[in-house]
């Protein structure tokens, strides 16, 4: 595994992650990837491979919202999936909400 660029898909882990998109028709794969990283508590170290996958998953959300980043041979799989799956990302989880007391409303930026 290697890293060759600072871009979201400039590493083998993110590129390999993108192939999993081809197996789904909704955002389950993206959500599961992001949930894994969000499960780490404040102050806990997130493993590099989980973080690299989460950045790739965030790129999917950004592209679905029309905020396309760099497009190159490393993003082809993700770009093709997004273009063929015009799904709407759900609202972002609200980290300030607690049971019985909703926090300020937020969505994916």
The answer to whether residue 97 scores a pLDDT higher than 60 is no
**pLDDT tens per residue, range 35-90:** 999 999 888 999 999 999 999 999 999 999 999 988 999 999 999 999 999 888 87
pLDDT of residue 92: 67
pLDDT of residue 5: 77
**Mean of pLDDT values over 80-108:** 66
Cα separation, 64 vs 20, whole angstroms: 17
Residue 81: exposure state from Cβ atoms within 10 A (0-12, 13-18, ≥19) = buried
Token couple for 103: 């926090």
Collapsed DSSP state (helix, strand, coil) of residue 67? coil
The answer to whether residue 1 scores a pLDDT higher than 70 is no
The answer to whether residue 106 scores a pLDDT higher than 70 is no
Cα separation, 106 vs 94, whole angstroms: 6
């Amino acid at each position: 595994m290697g890293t060759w660029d600072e871009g979201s898909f400039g590493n083998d882990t993110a590129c390999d992650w993108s192939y999993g998109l081809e197996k789904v028709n909704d955002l389950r794969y993206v959500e599961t990837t992001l949930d894994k990283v969000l499960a780490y508590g404040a102050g806990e170290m997130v493993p590099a491979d989980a973080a690299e996958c989460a950045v790739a998953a965030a790129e999917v959300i950004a592209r679905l919202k029309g905020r396309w980043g760099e497009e190159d041979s490393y993003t082809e799989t993700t770009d093709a999936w997004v273009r063929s799956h015009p799904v709407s990302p759900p609202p972002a989880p609200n980290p300030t909400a607690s049971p019985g007391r909703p926090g300020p409303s937020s969505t994916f930026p």
